[in-house]
Amino acid sequence: MNNKRLFTGEARLSDLITAHPSLLSIITRLGVPLGFGDRSIADVCETSGVDTAFFLLICNVYTFTGYVPSTATILGTDMTGLVPYLERSHKYYAGKRLPHIECHLDAIAAKLGGRIGQVFISFFKEYKRDVEAHFLHEEKDVFPHIRMLMQGKIDTSYSIRDFLQNHSDIEGKLDDLLNIIFKYLPPQDDDDNVLDVVDDILRLSGDLKKHTLIEEKIMVPMVQHLENAILS
């Protein structure tokens, strides 16, 4: 990974988005609204109250395959925005993307009809419940733990090590769904719904993979450091 290719604060935000349009939904979750004109990334971040280094860190993770910031970079960055970012992402996945995909799948299931349609849609509904439970656990147990640590307090009944041990894979079933949809569903008269939903699932699956990476490779080392710093 050549670090020179990573984005810097001097670049225009619009250039970043033109080069990587998929970042648009990420930057709004980071707290940067649209309408940023031709201003630089650093400038826009400042007016939005978002730390530029943190903003770039997340954008770089999303854009460059295989890029994981070093522990030094993580510890040297203001991570106050991390938990709010993760929470907004959860809301975006559970409140917008999954219901949107569900709508498409409902239509496909209705066309399939009968028991196959039911089994097909209940596969997705079960997945959706898993994801919601996964998010809820993080919002109830993990994020409050981090918020406390950031205030210099610690509740020793929970440790981030528990998190890694129980952090289940939430993208795997989406890949299963993709395979089922484009390889094994009987062809339909109107495939538009199928094409749309494949697009949506691919995007969500890619997004979730980065989300997991941010939690496991950025959030966890950061929390471990905070825990150790307070306990020692």
Partner 1 sequence: MKQRLLIVEPSELIIEGLKSILEGQIRFKVLEPEMNPEHLEERILASRPDIVLINPTMITNPAKLRGDRPIALVALVYQYVERDVLKGYDSMVDIRDSRAVIIETLAQASPGETGQSVTNYELTNRETAVLIELAQGKTNKEIADALNVSIHTVISHRKNITHKTGIKSVAGLTVYAMLNNLIDESSLL
Q: Between residues 137 and 173, which has the closer beta carbon with respect to partner 1?
A: 173
Tell the smallest beta-carbon distance from residue 118 to partner 1 (Å): 9
Tell the smallest beta-carbon distance from residue 119 to partner 1 (Å): 5
**What SS3 state is found at 40?**
strand
176 binds partner 1 (CB under 8 A): yes
CA atoms within 13 A on the CB side of 41: 23
Determine the interface stretch with partner 1 among 59-67, 89-97, 179-187, 221-229 (rule: CB under 8 A): 179-187
Radius of gyration of the chain (CA): 20
Q: Between residues 176 and 191, which has the closer beta carbon with respect to partner 1?
A: 176
Q: Between residues 19 and 119, which has the closer beta carbon with respect to partner 1?
A: 119
Q: Which of 21, 115, 151, 232: binder of partner 1 (CB under 8 A)?
A: 115
C-alpha closest to that of 168 among 212, 114, 201: 212
Distance between CA atoms of 187 and 57, rounded to whole angstroms? 43
Tell the smallest beta-carbon distance from residue 15 to partner 1 (Å): 37
Query: For the stretch 135-150, what's the b/e string if a residue is b when 16 or more beta carbons lie within 10 angstroms of its beta carbon?
Result: beebeeebbebbeebe
Q: Between residues 32 and 105, which has the closer beta carbon with respect to partner 1?
A: 105
CB 174 within 8 A of CB 205: yes
Token reading at 153 = 């307090």
184 binds partner 1 (CB under 8 A): yes
